[in-house]
Chain A
């Protein structure tokens, strides 16, 4: 009897497990943490205990900002009074800005695995049919927008996004407004006063260099931005704390190391970084497109290299195309070792005299070891 009982229990448990497996087949393929969607530990079919959309766990396939739609027309909401026309939402610009903070999930706060779903997947277009705990579509949209917009616009100016749908003004239902942002000017150089530090009182920040010379992307520094850093119209906007100010620098610069302060904090404005002035090695000719790290391999260390090519280049007479210098070597010379002509690592000027007697008239550039092609 007892055995039979256990047997039945076993069969029951197994079938249960099997059922669960079948159910979760779809889920199992996805790399998901159960708690993203389920609130209890053992969700069942009858009680899936689905969590209300988590704000920061979008699981959809995120595409690149470049692939995001440029402008979206929002016209799914119909109010009783129909006061406004459709809104042309500049999705791409907003997506780009969001990259500097939370990314797509700032707005697409929840997404089941797969393609990005549109907002009305969860948010009901009808307010009267909405549940108390899930805002209807109109609320959802406005909360996303106003959550940021009110941080710099005290008054809620509807007309910033909406064109009035007044029959006295226009009969069209499509908004004429496509807000085009004034082009954002990238700062060249910014000078900050830092009177509270006991090191230098001035920090000269060459914004341009960081992009063009050091090859940084906007998001390398602008990672955790608030909208107000650009859209701040409130004069009493709370100044960022010290740490916060360093936060955009300390990915690359050692801001915690006391010895490093003077690198940025100086007594007066400093000139832009110039590799030649600093090191004697001119980057402009052949190396201007390199990033720092393509030569300075150890992160954070910019010393230890000298101006010799072999620091980085492992060329020999076989793999170096001499023609790149503008001089195509003739047959006799192309077989020589580099160092036969370039003594003492001087690749700017060859030495001919180790083979040729000067009195015989072999003087560069009168007589060349090949053909000038540039």
Chain B
């Protein structure tokens, strides 16, 4: 158990304070709600969708690296051309879709957590289970996660998935930017395996320069926009494509950091109800207690 009851109460108090500040309507604070300063050396991945051939090897490698049922890796590419627009799920932290299968060789887009610089999921999480790490990864602590699914609602990219099929102690799952691998100096599994190098790993700063270099070198090949540079305050994963990905793959998002957005969702949700803090308290408290009970029973 990584969090004892006292920690929980502390977190709880913190939520109270945050909520209080929020009710005082101070947009600046709401924007900068990320807990730590962003490291200038934080990593990212540049996804060049014009290079991706849709082999699906990244999906396979991701599953293998996360001890998930991966199946035969030669079967992956056919899923791409069937036209289905899959979403990352609890069984696949990343998926690759061809947006328009009627056009041969049209953009293939790999989807996974974008590792936002100011993650909405992080600020939505009431127990601080989600953390923007120094290297850019947005990770979460399964032990802290109480399964409230606020992050799912908050995420502007609909990334966190929920283990609905698990009866006992279901958790949130999403791409963790291969945090364990990168800690050891390895590349993220998907980046490592990609045969054509559609995924480039590096510091976000250097990737942005490279993305812009590619656009200026080949203005006919690329739509003049690096998706993720400014969207929701910037994301660690950046996209280059032949066409505009907005509205086709990604929703139209402002450049405001998403926490403001997610908070407004919550405000919207609870507009006609009791103050959100009270509901958080009730829901969170009940879930945390029941979770603890489960664990304890399981332990005996």
Contact = CB atoms under 8 A, between A and B. Distances in A.
Interface of A: 52, 79-81, 83, 127-128, 132-133, 135-136, 138-140, 142-143, 146, 150-151, 154-159, 164, 234
B270 interface: no
Contact of B210 (A133, A143, A150): A133
Nearest to A144: B196
Contacts of B61: 81
Contacts of A143: 51, 196-197
Given A80-B186, A128-B186, A128-B201, 16 more contacts: A80-B192, A83-B73, A128-B185, A132-B46, A133-B213, A135-B197, A139-B51, A139-B195, A139-B196, A139-B197, A142-B195, A146-B196, A155-B77, A157-B77, A158-B74, A158-B195
What are the nearest 5 A-B pairs in CB distance?
A139-B197, A132-B210, A156-B55, A142-B195, A142-B196
Given A150-B105, A234-B104, A156 B210 contact: no
Contact of A80 (B53, B81, B193, B202): B193
Contacts, number: 70
Given A132-B206, A138-B197, A158-B74, A151 B105 contact: yes
Contact of B200 (A132, A142, A157): A132
Contacts of B210: 132-133
A157 B73 CA distance: 11
B80 interface: yes
A160 B197 CA distance: 19
Contact of B104 (A81, A146, A154): A154
Contacts of A154: 81, 104-105
Contacts of B202: 132
A53 B263 CA distance: 48
Contacts of B81: 154-155
Nearest to A80: B192
B78 interface: yes
A234 B103 CA distance: 11
B54 interface: yes
Contact of A79 (B78, B193, B201): B193
Nearest to B210: A132
A331 to B, nearest CB: 79
A135 B51 CA distance: 11
A138 B64 CA distance: 20
Given A150-B105, A158-B55, A132 B207 contact: yes
B126 to A, nearest CB: 38
A52 B186 CA distance: 27
A146 B195 CA distance: 10
Contacts of B195: 138-139, 142, 146, 158
B187 A128 contact: yes
Contacts of B78: 155
A127 B199 CA distance: 11
Contacts of B53: 142, 146, 150, 156
12 contacts: A80-B193, A81-B61, A81-B64, A81-B193, A127-B191, A138-B195, A139-B194, A142-B197, A143-B196, A155-B54, A156-B77, A158-B195
A282 B199 CA distance: 66
Contacts of B194: 139
A143 B198 CA distance: 9
A158 B77 CA distance: 9
Contacts of A139: 51, 194-197
Contacts of B193: 79-81
A14 B39 CA distance: 49
Nearest to B217: A52
A136 B197 contact: yes
Nearest to B208: A132
A77 B26 CA distance: 55
Contacts of B187: 127-128
Nearest to B197: A139
A52 B55 CA distance: 28
Query: Most chain-A Cβ atoms within 10 A of its Cβ — which of B74, B185, B186, B187?
Result: B74
Contacts of B192: 79-80, 127
Nearest to A234: B104
Nearest to A146: B53
A320 B185 CA distance: 84
A127 B189 CA distance: 12
A58 B78 CA distance: 37
Contacts of A146: 53, 195-196
Contacts of B104: 151, 154, 234
A307 to B, nearest CB: 55
Contacts of A155: 54, 77-78, 80-81
A282 B256 CA distance: 84
Interface in B37-73: 46, 51, 53-55, 61, 64, 73
Nearest to B56: A156
Contacts of B217: 52
A132 B204 CA distance: 11
Contacts of B64: 81
A135 B73 CA distance: 24
B197 A156 contact: no
Interface in B74-97: 74, 77-78, 80-81
Nearest to A77: B195
Query: Most chain-A Cβ atoms within 10 A of its Cβ — which of B46, B80, B185, B192?
Result: B192
Contact of B74 (A127, A135, A138, A159): A159
B141 to A, nearest CB: 27
A127 B197 contact: yes
Contacts of A80: 186, 192-193
A254 B210 CA distance: 48
A159 B193 CA distance: 16
Given A146-B196, A151-B105, A156 B206 contact: no
A139 to B, nearest CB: 3
